Structure 1
């Protein structure tokens, strides 16, 4: 009997433990670039390993580690280029080596294809753990140097003839890396396709939820009004015990709302969780990746629920939408505990859920980019409870008191100084963005440089042009893919 009770207790803990966030700080679980859905079965390339320096900027530090990469030579033709897909804030996938738009270009131009996983993500573990003393080696600068040394290493290993042109591909943060790689190492990289890459580091990313709202309005004004009304009802329900109990039941919260803490970070975390549902759907709306559990949940899906008056009052409809997304993700309950989230992100071991990339990406936002998606610009719509201070506090609570606003302001200024932000001076780069993707606000969408044009695709989402084509693709997306292919052809004809 005692064993049975212990088992029940453990099961209870499993059900009420932290439900790790599927969307955190604009990052989807496992990285912002999903996997392509393969049209048939392939024998995928095996893991390969490249010996990489731990610190590229200290010539007295000879420590090395093994970085994972993939190679596919199936489409290579003598005299062809080399294509490099840059890994980002998640595990690199071998599926990208056999399908995806860059593979179509590889077939067209007879390219040898490589994909390099980003340090500290996936299986590429430079250090024994994710402690702060080790994560000082996690930065975009180190990642770019990894790419440079990798290119030189592959040129030697595969005896690639001198003068062979390398073209880099990246989506989301790797889209930024692709552009910066061409700018910083033009002798190694001849051109780059940068999809949905934010070039401007910015602490308070207010525009993010402004674009989310605009995307919801493409369905209807009624959808937006319902969100606002639902949040107003939540405000009221939080003021009394019966309302708090009602919220727990409606939104299937993992634990009751503490009556004495209705204005604490827990509540801010709750509101930010609910807002992130909208962000996740909008950012990936109809992007053809289909590898996400929520990929079939679109703007139309959630707005149809929110405008369906037969479901109940606005807060009921918002709960219905939330529960649909939770069910799709396999979540038993919605965990809004701030301290649980912080404790999970403090875990420095590789064998924990946050180590799939959550802690690492949090570190990069706290030390390089900011990118904090705040509610400041739309407080009536998504609540006023998660301003920029809420996110800076997370940096301090996770990594320590020195990771504060002063450090972050200096770090963001440094990033923009190093790379040029939206004044990046570069050639043979094409910047591709979708109008629905909130990240386009920090990207190059109006380039006046004919050698580095921008393609802005109305009605498409994050990295949409990178996924395999679909019959449902709008014509402007198809045209964008064709234009990128034309530009690559021009680069390959011309010298640096």
Structure 2
């Protein structure tokens, strides 16, 4: 944030040295999504004299250590058949991997999935969870959208075998369902499980080439974690969540009276491996260093809170289910995009590309509201300049540019 403030207060653009384009004379409005959404919300609150306004889109302003709630959006908004099948099949997996550990059943389960060479059961459980984890990657814009989540849900919801090459393991899958404690649902679960296996083989298992499955899918790779040259750009975000933000997405954190959508073997010990191996961080993240800035309740004039109804990160935003609703005003817009997922307002179309359905009406409406409240903020800026005597950059100068 201090870097952003320095930029705003000192920037001189090449070729435009004759203009004062710093925040001393111009309104700076920050706009970010997800982590950057939280970032700009804090920026507006901590540096109100530098940043005139901010739009926080899917801004994760509440740091949470065990973020098992990430999967609640899928539980609430994915097709019911997809959710039920995933919960039951995941429970079968856990009953075998945890309760039948020490027998030949865990090995048989891995082999049925085409992952017989993954040594650790937690690595296996994590690998097979990628389907239900894909909600965040869905988008109204075809260029941004991933279809994996929908294809996965269609697969595990179907009572037809969609992957014919899996038919020859049907009897083994029936046996595994029995061993997993679902003898009364063998007939209804065998084809969804075959489809889960088929989908996973086509989208995940097949990507592992010229390496062992442990090399492809393990979370325990000390040699990789020790790499710290400047090419290792992956390091910056894990360092931050290990140190302060948390957001470890687990199945173990789901309350015991609910069936999780991902295995309970995906626990805090498993998801924090990177913290220990890459950064030697063995303490809990200091979430209070983030949440002291407002958390769920963050509020400030000319700070807009925009979130998606079906976003897996909604549970870490001011729109989290169970948090108090707020009035939406021009000064403090508070907008939940119906059917929206992760910062859906941040990408758009040129006027000649729009259609009656693109962007979807809730997104189009939100973007229109953003334009309107920013215009109102700029009217306040004009009044502010009149009162304070700030000159700013004149409209005709911008037009010349």
Q: Equivalent residue for 1:480? A: 366
Q: Equivalent residue for 2:346? A: 466
1:404 pairs with 248, 263, 283, which one? 283
2:121 pairs with 241, 261, 267, which one? 267
Equivalent pairs counted in the alignment come to 325
Q: Equivalent residue for 1:302? A: 152
Determine helix, strand or coil for the equivalent of 1:462. coil
Answer yes or no: is 1:288 the counterpart of 2:141. yes
| Mapping of residues 32-47 of structure 1, within 5 Å | none
Superposed displacement of residue 223, structure 1? 1.2
Q: Equivalent residue for 2:396? A: none
Answer yes or no: is 1:429 the counterpart of 2:282. no
Determine helix, strand or coil for the equivalent of 1:313. helix
Higher-strand-fraction structure: 1
| Mapping of residues 172-187 of structure 1, within 5 Å | 172-187=34-49
Check whether the contact 1:434–1:458 (CA below 8 A) recurs between aligned residues: yes
Determine helix, strand or coil for the equivalent of 2:128. helix
In 1, distance between residues paired with 2:122 and 2:246? 18
Superposed displacement of residue 489, structure 1? 0.6
In 2, distance between residues paired with 1:434 and 1:366? 26
Deviations 1:266-298 (A, max 9, x none): 32233233334322x21122242625xxx3415
In 2, distance between residues paired with 1:324 and 1:194? 37
Determine helix, strand or coil for the equivalent of 2:150. helix
Q: Equivalent residue for 1:230? A: 89
Q: Equivalent residue for 1:395? A: 275
Deviations 1:406-439 (A, max 9, x none): xx2xx2112212x221232411111111111111
Superposed displacement of residue 393, structure 1? 4.8
| Mapping of residues 353-364 of structure 1, within 5 Å | 355-357=232-234, 359-364=235-240
| Mapping of residues 127-166 of structure 1, within 5 Å | 144-154=1-11, 158=16, 159-160=19-20, 162-166=24-28
Superposed displacement of residue 246, structure 1? 5.1
Q: What is the root-mean-square deviation of aligned Cα atoms in Å?
A: 2.7
For the pair shown, the structure with the greater C-alpha radius of gyration is 2
Q: TM-score, normalised by structure 2?
A: 0.73
Q: Equivalent residue for 2:131? A: 277
1:413 pairs with 272, 288, 299, which one? 288
Question: CA 1:394 to 1:356, structure 2 compared with 1: closer, same or farther past 3 Å?
Answer: closer
Superposed displacement of residue 180, structure 1? 1.2
Deviations 1:116-148 (A, max 9, x none): xxxxxxxxxxxxxxxxxxxxxxxxxxxx01101
| Mapping of residues 73-112 of structure 1, within 5 Å | none
In 2, distance between residues paired with 1:346 and 1:215? 39
Deviations 1:312-362 (A, max 9, x none): 5333222223234338x955468332322x4323311233xxx232x2211
Q: Kindly indicate whether structure 1 or structure 2 has the higher relative contact order, using CA contacts under 8 Å at least 6 residues apart.
A: 2
Question: CA 1:454 to 1:325, structure 2 compared with 1: closer, same or farther past 3 Å?
Answer: farther
Superposed displacement of residue 155, structure 1? 5.1
Q: TM-score, normalised by structure 1?
A: 0.60
Answer yes or no: is 1:493 the counterpart of 2:391. no
Q: Equivalent residue for 2:204? A: 326
Check whether the contact 1:196–1:439 (CA below 8 A) recurs between aligned residues: yes
What are structure 1's unaligned runs of at least 5 residues? 1-143, 259-265
Deviations 1:164-209 (A, max 9, x none): 2111111111111111111111222111111111001111112211
Superposed displacement of residue 464, structure 1? 0.9
Answer yes or no: is 1:200 the counterpart of 2:62. yes
In 2, distance between residues paired with 1:195 and 1:299? 22
Question: CA 1:432 to 1:163, structure 2 compared with 1: closer, same or farther past 3 Å?
Answer: same
In 2, distance between residues paired with 1:271 and 1:192? 40
2:111 pairs with 230, 248, 251, which one? 248
Superposed displacement of residue 249, structure 1? 5.2
Question: CA 1:480 to 1:305, structure 2 compared with 1: closer, same or farther past 3 Å?
Answer: same
Determine helix, strand or coil for the equivalent of 1:455. strand
